Amino acid sequence: MSKNQNKTGSYSFFNCIEKNFDKAARFISIEKGLLEQIKACNSVYRMHFPVKIGKEIKVIEAYRVQHSHHKLPCKGGIRYSMKVNQDEIMTLAALMTYKCAIVDVPFGGAKGGIKIDPQTISSENIEKITRRYTSELIKKNFIGPGIDVPAPDYGTGEREMSWIFDTFLSLRSGDVDALACVTGKPVSQGGVRGRKEATGLGVFYGIRELCHVKEEMYSVGLDVGLVGKKIIIQGLGNVGYHAASFFHESGAIIIALAEREGAIYNEKGLNVSKVFLHLRNNGSILNFPEAKNIENTEKALELECDILIPAALENVIHKNNANRIKAKIIGEAANGPITPEADEILDKKGMIIVPDIYLNAGGVTVSYFEWLKNLSHVRYGRMEKKFRENVNAEFLKIIETVCKKKISIEEKKMILRGPREIDLVRSGLEDTMINGFHKIRDLKKSLKIENMRTAAFVLSINKIIDSYEKLGIFP
């Protein structure tokens, strides 16, 4: 057992990322010490605070880790889960650094976590814990529009982000930029339209782009295009739910959906919106009328399919099940769903793995748009929507006169339309995901890198080196 392995013989999560980093470092010629600086976590804040729950005082364990300060503010979600620990939060913070660099989001990576199970705690108590956590962050200067900006992650959402903002504002009243202290807020509280579905939509854009590249598809024996591809999605939280909906709408066939309690399967395809209705009404996806139940949810990962999307937690594909995975493409919607040992096994099988540090970067991309909106204090599209519509109307008039033809009301509606906030956010996200994909692929080809993950790391590390150099830190 090596010094990096824990008692069960597997690597710590942080060591997994270090391994991926080291593979990429072979393609970068820069002094070793400088690479070590990029790899290291800059600040780890581990806290314990008391919260009165019922008649008892409970001591809550929580973290905020800032992995890199090469760009400020730091950025990353906050997760609520009983699995939260320092190693996990450090790793997720590091992934945020690499993720932001790939999609040109000018932030350093961070992550936070509170060790609680939100499903067993009342919302009043979750609120108490969230507000107390926020004031701990404020005390130590670990939150602020130019310092560190949290966002939703596993077990948190718009509601928690509202509480964080409100607590920040009450302790920093008069700060005109206070709204930018956290992203993923509800639209009525300074959020941006399109943030909620952004990670899932980014996953969809990334996979769609891959499916349009003939060479890539032929390399795994598939046809070009997303229509008709058989997809399995594991995890129906915010990311998995939205990804499933977008894939379904685009004509892909969702053959299985897996949740904690089990999975459901229908070779001909599941109607995703009907499954969600069933889940809402019954509290479980099991016993969906048009599907077979799979009791052992892990078995769903091993079914025959074209694309497998793990969208829940880390390390779900490991050395013990990797050999049984039959997908041709794996899209990492979750952070770190494949261990390095499994990665090697899957690589040898010739699968395409679209890595997390690129594929799930849609969330932070739209968080960046939200942060910019908050700092500019104006909704996207507010200044140009009407102007665009007026210009388009003038154009239409000219076209109708020149062509001596009347354009139908339906066509007119489409052509006249000025951009709304949601249109601008989605086009910014689409453009980011398409560009990111091709930058990784071009680098992979030009340096003859073995897989997309290593190429994504090389791209990201090079960008971080570039910003350090511009800061004058690496002479």
Q: How far is the CB of 51 from ligand GLU (least distance, A)?
A: 23
Nearer to ligand GLU, 95 or 264 (CB): 95
Nearer to ligand GLU, 162 or 183 (CB): 183
Nearer to ligand GLU, 183 or 245 (CB): 183
Judged by CB under 6 A, does residue 340 bind ligand GLU? no
- The pair of structure tokens assigned to 13 is 């999560």
- The pattern of x and - marking residues 279 through 318 that bind ligand GLU according to CB under 6 A reads ----------------------------------------
Nearer to ligand GLU, 130 or 367 (CB): 367
Catalytic residue among 111, 230, 373, 439: 111
- The pair of structure tokens assigned to 147 is 């310092």
Q: Which residue is nearest to ligand GLU (CB)?
A: 77
Q: How far is the CB of 409 from ligand GLU (least distance, A)?
A: 40
Three-state SS sequence of the chain: CCCCECCCCCECHHHHHHHHHHHHHCCCCCCHHHHHHHHCCCEEEEEEEEEEECCEEEEEEEEEEECCCCCCCEEEEEEECCCCCHHHHHHHHHHHHHHHHHCCCCCEEEEEEECCCHHHCCHHHHHHHHHHHHHHHHHCCCCECCCEEEEECCCCCHHHHHHHHHHHHHHCCCCCCHHHHCCCCCHHHCCCCCCCCHHHHHHHHHHHHHHCCHHHHHHCCCCCCCCCCEEEEECCCHHHHHHHHHHHHCCCEEEEEEECCEEEECCCCCCHHHHHHHHHHHCCCCCCCCCEEECCHHHHHHCCCCEEEECCCCCCECCCCHHHCCCCEEECCCCCCECHHHHHHHHHCCCEEECHHHHCCHHHHHHHHHHHHHHHCCCCCCCCHHHHHHHHHHHHHHHHHHHCCCCCHHHHHHHHCCCCHHHHHHHHHHHHHHHHHHHHHHHHHHCCCCCHHHHHHHHHHHHHHHHHHHHCCCC
**Nearest one of 261, 259, 263 to 237, comparing CA atoms:** 259
Q: How far is the CB of 155 from ligand GLU (least distance, A)?
A: 11
Q: How far is the CB of 184 from ligand GLU (least distance, A)?
A: 6
326 catalytic residue (yes or no): no
Q: How far is the CB of 279 from ligand GLU (least distance, A)?
A: 22
Nearer to ligand GLU, 70 or 328 (CB): 70
Other CB atoms within a 10 A radius of the CB of residue 214 amount to 11
Instruction: Please tell me the count of residues contacting ligand GLU according to CB under 6 A.
Output: 11
Q: How far is the CB of 89 from ligand GLU (least distance, A)?
A: 11
Identify the residue among 20, 167, 183, 245 touching ligand GLU (CB under 6 A). Answer: 183
Distance, CA of 136 to CA of 126 (rounded, Å): 15
Nearer to ligand GLU, 241 or 265 (CB): 241
Q: How far is the CB of 77 from ligand GLU (least distance, A)?
A: 3
Site for ligand GLU in 62-81 (CB under 6 A): 75-77
- The pattern of x and - marking residues 349 through 388 that bind ligand GLU according to CB under 6 A reads -----------x--xx--x---------------------
Distance, CA of 258 to CA of 309 (rounded, Å): 10
Q: How far is the CB of 335 from ligand GLU (least distance, A)?
A: 6
Nearer to ligand GLU, 35 or 366 (CB): 366
Q: What is the torsional sign of CA 69, 73, 76, 80?
A: positive
Nearer to ligand GLU, 306 or 421 (CB): 421
CA 414-416-419 angle, to 5 degrees, is: 90
Nearer to ligand GLU, 98 or 288 (CB): 98
Identify the residue among 41, 62, 116, 151 touching ligand GLU (CB under 6 A). Answer: 151
Site for ligand GLU in 12-71 (CB under 6 A): none
Q: How far is the CB of 151 from ligand GLU (least distance, A)?
A: 3
178: left (phi over 0), alpha (psi -120 to 50) or beta: alpha
Site for ligand GLU in 428-457 (CB under 6 A): none
User: Which residues contact ligand GLU (rule: CB under 6 A)?
Assistant: 75-77, 151, 153, 183, 335, 360, 363-364, 367
- Active-site positions read 111
